[in-house]
């Protein structure tokens, strides 16, 4: 029976690795050496040349700074706001706290496509369209509900006596939040940050809708320019570009894997 399980897991693993293999093999081929009939066969190594072509043709350098800014600032703000929401609802026992939580988390019920048109109109009317501030605002707003959901559940698992003891010792509400609850929730905060940073880095829809210039547009919409109908780049260049822009999120996850695993446990330190 164990051999059957091992065989099944091996087959599933190979199926999961097949797209990665195809990506690496074909992104490494030269433009002249690429053939749709031999996608499974390795041929040559022009990966770094294709990296350079993708970087220049998609103007990835100009969008990298903006995307990094969005992927750091917006998740940090969302994590802090979500932690404050969870603290107010669970620890401070905010009046009608559950209704406030439903109101905040209810924003995730509606598909993002439903609000694109009013969002675009509102951004155009307020001057936020095609600005970095506008992109940070929208990325923060869509990241807060999940952050609040996780932090509410996390703070529920902390004994009430911790807060009561801090009050007896003379701690203020903000100081208790800053000095006790935020450090205790470090792993959960890190897990939320990783998930939201990855989501923002890989976002395409909001970037296409709310930005236009290369200095504001996120990196994924810029990458789509390689596949334009007129003057599109060759497939090895497109694949190399996709591989290049995915590396930061992979590195982030591998570097913070320990915090991510602990954060998912919600309370196990």
Residues 15-38: pLDDT tens digits?
Answer: 888 888 888 888 888 877 777 777
Residue ranges in 127-213 assigned as alpha helix (H): 132-156, 160-168, 173-176, 182-184, 186-201, 205-210
pLDDT of residue 71 exceeding 90 = yes
Inter-residue contact 155 to 185 (CB < 8 Å): yes
Q: Model pTM?
A: 0.85
Structural domain contains residue 24: no
pLDDT of residue 203 exceeding 50 = yes
Percent of the chain with pLDDT over 90: 19
Nearest to 220 by CA among 235, 198, 236: 198
Angle at 110 between CA 131 and CA 95, to 5 degrees: 95
Structural domain contains residue 46: no
Confidence of residue 115 (pLDDT cuts 50, 70, 90): confident
pLDDT of residue 201 exceeding 70 = yes
Output the six-digit token pair for 177.
């939040």
CA distance 269 to 262: 7
Mean pLDDT of 118-135: 92
CA distance 62 to 48: 19
More confident residue, 231 or 240: 240
Least confident of 38-47, 82-91, 138-147: 38-47
Domain range for 222: 57-265
Structural domain contains residue 180: yes
Structural domain contains residue 3: no
CA distance 190 to 195: 9
CA distance 6 to 48: 37
Confidence of residue 137 (pLDDT cuts 50, 70, 90): very high
CA distance 150 to 216: 30
Inter-residue contact 189 to 155 (CB < 8 Å): no
Residues 6+ apart with CB under 8 A from 177: 83, 84, 87, 91
Residue 268: its pLDDT value, please?
Answer: 42
Structural domain contains residue 37: no
Structural domain contains residue 193: yes
Mean pLDDT of 234-240: 82
Q: Is 267 left (phi over 0), alpha (psi -120 to 50) or beta?
A: left
Confidence of residue 49 (pLDDT cuts 50, 70, 90): confident
Structural domain contains residue 28: no
CA distance 2 to 220: 43
Alpha carbon of residue 10 to chain centroid = 29
DSSP state of 1: -
Domain of residue 74, CATH code: 1.10.3720.10
Confidence of residue 269 (pLDDT cuts 50, 70, 90): very low
pLDDT of residue 131 exceeding 60 = yes
Residue 29: its pLDDT value, please?
Answer: 83
Structural domain contains residue 142: yes
| Axis-axis angle for helices 132-156, 116-126 (nearest 10) | 130
Domain count, the chain: 1
Question: In angstroms, how far apart are the furthest CA atoms of the chain?
Answer: 74
Confidence of residue 129 (pLDDT cuts 50, 70, 90): very high
pLDDT of residue 265 exceeding 80 = no
């Amino acid at each position: 029976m164990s051999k059957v399980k091992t065989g099944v897991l091996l087959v599933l693993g190979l199926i999961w690795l097949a797209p990665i293999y195809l990506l690496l093999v074909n992104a490494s081929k030269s433009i002249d050496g690429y053939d749709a009939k031999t996608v499974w066969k390795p041929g040559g190594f022009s990966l770094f040349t294709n990296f350079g072509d993708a970087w220049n043709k998609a103007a990835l350098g100009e969008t990298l700074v903006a995307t990094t800014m969005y992927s750091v600032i917006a998740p940090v703000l969302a994590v802090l706001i979500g932690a404050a929401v969870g603290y107010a609802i669970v620890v401070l026992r905010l009046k009608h706290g559950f209704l406030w939580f439903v109101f905040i988390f209810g924003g995730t019920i509606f598909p993002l496509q439903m609000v694109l048109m009013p969002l675009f109109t509102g951004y155009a009317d307020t001057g936020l369209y095609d600005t970095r501030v506008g992109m940070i605002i929208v990325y923060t707003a869509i990241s807060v509900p999940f952050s609040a959901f996780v932090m509410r559940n996390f703070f529920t698992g902390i004994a009430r006596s911790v807060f009561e003891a801090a009050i007896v010792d003379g701690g203020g509400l903000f100081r208790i939040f800053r000095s006790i609850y935020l450090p205790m929730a470090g792993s959960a905060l890190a897990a939320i940050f990783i998930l939201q940073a990855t989501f923002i880095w890989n976002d395409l829809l909001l970037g296409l809708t709310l930005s236009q210039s290369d200095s504001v547009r996120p990196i994924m919409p810029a990458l789509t320019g390689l596949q334009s109908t007129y003057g599109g780049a060759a497939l090895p260049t497109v694949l190399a570009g996709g591989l290049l822009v995915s590396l930061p999120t992979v590195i982030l996850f591998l570097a913070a894997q320990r915090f991510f695993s602990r954060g998912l446990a919600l309370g196990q330190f």
